[in-house]
Amino acid sequence: MSLKEHDIIVAPLFTNELKLMSLFPTLGFLTSSSMVIEVLSLSITLIIIIFTLHRQLGQNLPPGPRPWPIVGNMYQIRPNDFRLLTKWSHIYGPITSFQIGSSICISVSNPHLAKEVLKNHDQQLANRHRTIGIVRFSRNGDDLTWADYGSQFVKLKKLCVVELFSLKNLEAHRPTRENDVSVMIDSINKDYCGKVLVVKNYLKKTVFNIIARMLFGNSLVSYNGELNAILEAQFRSKVSLGVVEEVSWLRCLSWLKDNENKWIGSRNHRFFQAIIIQKKENQNSSPHHNNLSFLDALLSRREEYNLSDNTISGLLWDMVTAGIDTIVAALEWAMVELLINPTVKRKAQEELDRVIGFGEVMTESYIPNLPYLTCVVKETLRLHPPTPLMLPHQATTNLKIESYGVPKGSRVYVNVWAIGRDPHAWKQPLVFQPERFLEEDVDIKGHDFRLLAFGSGRRMCPGAQLGMNMVSLMLGSILHRFEWSLPEGFRAEEVDMVEMLGIVAYKKIPLEVVPTPRLPMHGSNKDDY
């Protein structure tokens, strides 16, 4: 930005203030003390503006929309507005800068630049930006998702991989996952065949049960309502962030929002503390029990890894929030695409019938023999990544991406949604076409920067394999067992495709469908529906 452009921004402010000051003598009611307050306010504002503009001189930031003094581009953008960032990338280029308050933000929107962020500059961009609310929820990063990169982060990630996401642990919990999915299938058959079903509700209940059993050793059915209430309160708090949250010199006015964040954080803490205490009591009463849950592993290794109750609560919360919503969102979008692309749905069902047959049920062991189903899952994650904007990376030092400066402390967003629709990376990018992955085996675990549903580099999601297994198992099961159609009177072209803005991009209007059986039902242990 040139000095001339800076003058254009500042000049109207001087002009307006001078006009206002010229009126002071005629107003009569202004006291000398109020004049002092006016002058001080104007001086502080001008100092902040000049400091901000001076700080940006010589940094050669990427192009982007012109920020306003103090608030930056907050008047234009809502939290996690990946569609607007994509629009800006079409105007200003694939690397774009904007401001939230006085904080510099940079968005990258193509595979080449994603590789720059996630591989070439991975270490310098491995920290996290935490808002006031996230500081409360994560206890200032005493977890995995929001921790800054360092020895604690490396230790916690290793612990999660070894004790939760290793192939050995995934296989140990496989029968439980398969049984919970069978319970869901039988329940849909019993209660909703021929009736309108909000598919997200059943999917979420099943995913919650599966994740809870892996984390806690039981389904936590009695805790479901409280956990959902905490999740909803946290979501509302995050999406209602305003100027006070983001403009550093106004944070002293944020006591009301801070009190709300404290209350949600405290409720979250009490919830997990109750579960931890109960688990400790169970361990003391049955010291030789052989439970495979993640919480059991955390408690048994707390001294080895120096884990506080806060850290244990933070890890459990990360696994709940990262696991449930992302899987459910991916499944719902897959169902949407299959309903508006019936040829794809029919091909997936034909493959399931051919491989599994008509007398067996879907299990994870069939997944390697269902390449088209895997392609459907990948294509869904390309067009509808559950986390369309990666959580913000924060620069630990000044660096350059291409020829542009990325100042220390700035936030860098990878626009996964835009990359999945990049016409330079994909043929017919807006067409739902699973066959593209039969023609080219695109890696989904962070090595191919065109498909980044699970991230890449140091901050990559450690649960990628579990996520793929669960989406494939659940989607394959409901396609194999049921025929799905839209409610009477609805046409495929009328299905709303708008996302809800948030860290996880659910369909804004939940999908309603009508299931009818395709195959005979098989029994299961119906203990949670």
End residue of a domain, out of 66, 97, 129: 129
Helix (H, G, I), strand (E, B) or coil at 128: strand
Asked whether residue 207 is domain-assigned, the answer is yes
In angstroms, the CA 362 to CA 1 distance is 59
Q: What is the mean pLDDT of residues 164-191?
A: 94
pLDDT of residue 241: 44
In angstroms, the CA 463 to CA 144 distance is 12
pLDDT of residue 291: 65
pLDDT of residue 114: 98
Q: Of 209-223, 430-444, 508-522, where does mean pLDDT reach its minimum?
A: 209-223
Domain shared by 98 and 160, yes or no: no
pLDDT in tens, 267-281: 777 888 888 888 887
Q: What is the mean pLDDT of residues 447-467?
A: 97
Identify which of 141, 122, 123, 121 has the alpha carbon closest to the alpha carbon of residue 131: 141
Tokens of 442: 């695109």
Identify which of 189, 159, 272 has the alpha carbon closest to the alpha carbon of residue 481: 189
Identify which of 169, 145, 436 has the alpha carbon closest to the alpha carbon of residue 311: 145
Is a pLDDT exceeding 80 seen at residue 24?
A: no
Domain shared by 193 and 336, yes or no: yes
Better-predicted residue by pLDDT, 183 or 287: 183
Is residue 137 exposed (0-12), middle (13-18) or buried (19+ Cβ within 10 Å)? buried
The distance from CA 81 to its chain's CA centroid, rounded to whole angstroms, is: 12
End residue of a domain, out of 97, 129, 161: 129
Q: Could you give the number of structural domains in the chain? A: 2
Asked whether residue 161 is domain-assigned, the answer is yes
Asked whether residue 523 is domain-assigned, the answer is no
pLDDT of residue 240: 43
Asked whether residue 295 is domain-assigned, the answer is yes
Better-predicted residue by pLDDT, 102 or 88: 88
Asked whether residue 124 is domain-assigned, the answer is yes
Q: What angle is formed at CA 404 by the lines to CA 401 and CA 405, rounded to 5 degrees?
A: 90
CATH code for the domain in which residue 182 is found: 1.10.630.10
Share of the chain above pLDDT 70, in %: 77
pLDDT of residue 448: 97
Is 461 annotated to bind ligand?
Answer: yes
In angstroms, the CA 428 to CA 253 distance is 49
pLDDT in tens, 344-397: 999 999 999 999 999 899 999 999 999 999 999 999 999 999 999 999 999 999
Q: Which residues are CB-neighbours of 257 under 8 A, at least 6 positions away? A: 132, 133, 237, 240, 241, 242, 244, 245
Domain shared by 181 and 33, yes or no: no
Domain that holds residue 411: 151-517
Task: Specify the DSSP class assigned to residue 118.
Answer: I
Task: Specify the DSSP class assigned to residue 404.
Answer: E
pLDDT of residue 269: 77
Domain shared by 103 and 46, yes or no: yes
Q: What is the mean pLDDT of residues 199-226?
A: 83
User: Given pLDDT bands bounded at 50, 70 and 90, which one contains residue 286?
Assistant: low
CB atoms within 10 A of CB 410: 23
pLDDT of residue 22: 44
Q: What is the mean pLDDT of residues 201-209?
A: 91
Q: What is the mean pLDDT of the chain?
A: 84
pTM of the model: 0.85
Is a pLDDT exceeding 80 seen at residue 48?
A: no
Domain shared by 362 and 465, yes or no: yes
Helix (H, G, I), strand (E, B) or coil at 104: strand
Half-sphere exposure of 164 (CA within 13 A, CB side): 31
CB atoms within 10 A of CB 380: 26
Asked whether residue 332 is domain-assigned, the answer is yes
Better-predicted residue by pLDDT, 287 or 396: 396
pLDDT of residue 351: 98
Asked whether residue 527 is domain-assigned, the answer is no
Is residue 64 exposed (0-12), middle (13-18) or buried (19+ Cβ within 10 Å)? buried
pLDDT of residue 31: 47
Asked whether residue 23 is domain-assigned, the answer is yes
Is a pLDDT exceeding 70 seen at residue 147?
A: yes
Tokens of 346: 């029919």
Q: Of 38-52, 71-85, 120-134, 170-184, where does mean pLDDT reach its minimum?
A: 38-52
User: Given pLDDT bands bounded at 50, 70 and 90, which one contains residue 132?
Assistant: confident
